[in-house]
């Protein structure tokens, strides 16, 4: 099972959710692999604190050059969309190569393969295509991560509408608790659930992935 971890926007908890799923999968004895093919805002001198470094730590792997290259072959320094970050370096993100990489890692034998996107669902990968296009080209099932901040219901429903328009059915929506949450997680899930016809899960700060979420993913 290949899961593409995407989000309603940037910095809402994709990597936190990815790492939580890795740890829960390992805890119950599943084999799990995870990748973040494209990363922007990457500083090699501070690699352990990057999204790639955090994923490697969750996997129990060393954060060395070989492992970084294995998880994130396309790395860019500027903390911008992938397309803009690549442009700053006189480069482009080779969309077809990234999509082929996603399909290749998904095809390898494993109980669970997690592929984390770069930025939000509609964040550009190149000058014409976004993470949404990459999910389609990757043949992976999307898992949508949202925050619990004010405005997240609108952002989440917009992202779900974009996925539906692309004929993609998200396996679930995971709400990762934001620093400033105007309402309790349970109330947010209830209100969002009135509009979103997908399974909803909440992850509080410093909490692991719900076992029910992992069971849903494995059974899909």
Q: Which residues are catalytic?
A: 36
Read off the tokens for 32.
Answer: 């799990």
CB 28 within 8 A of CB 215: no
In order of 46, 50, 77, the CA distances from 43 in angstroms are: 5, 8, 6
CB 152 within 8 A of CB 146: yes
DSSP assignment letter at 168: -
In 3D space, the residue among 133, 94, 140, 100 whose CA is nearest the CA of residue 116 turns out to be 140
């Amino acid at each position: 099972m290949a899961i593409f971890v995407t989000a309603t926007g940037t910095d809402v908890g994709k990597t936190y959710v990815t790492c939580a799923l890795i740890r829960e999968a390992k805890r119950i004895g599943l084999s799990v692999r995870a990748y973040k093919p494209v990363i922007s805002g990457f500083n090699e001198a501070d690699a352990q604190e990057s999204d790639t470094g955090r994923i490697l730590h969750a996997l129990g792997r060393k954060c060395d050059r070989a492992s970084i290259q294995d998880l994130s072959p396309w790395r860019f320094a500027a903390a911008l969309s992938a397309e803009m970050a690549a442009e700053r370096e006189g480069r482009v993100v080779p969309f077809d190569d990234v999509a082929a990489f996603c399909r290749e890692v998904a095809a390898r034998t494993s109980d669970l393969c997690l592929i984390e996107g770069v930025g939000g669902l509609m964040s550009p990968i190149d000058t014409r295509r976004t993470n949404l296009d990459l999910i389609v080209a990757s043949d992976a099932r999307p898992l949508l991560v949202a925050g619990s901040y004010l405005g997240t219901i609108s952002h989440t429903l917009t992202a779900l509408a974009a996925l539906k328009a692309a004929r993609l059915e998200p396996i679930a929506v995971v709400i990762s608790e934001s620093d400033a949450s105007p309402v309790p997680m349970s109330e947010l899930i209830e209100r969002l659930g009135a509009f979103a016809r997908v399974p909803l899960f909440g992850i509080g700060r410093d909490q692991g992935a719900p076992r029910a979420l992992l069971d849903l993913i494995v059974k899909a």
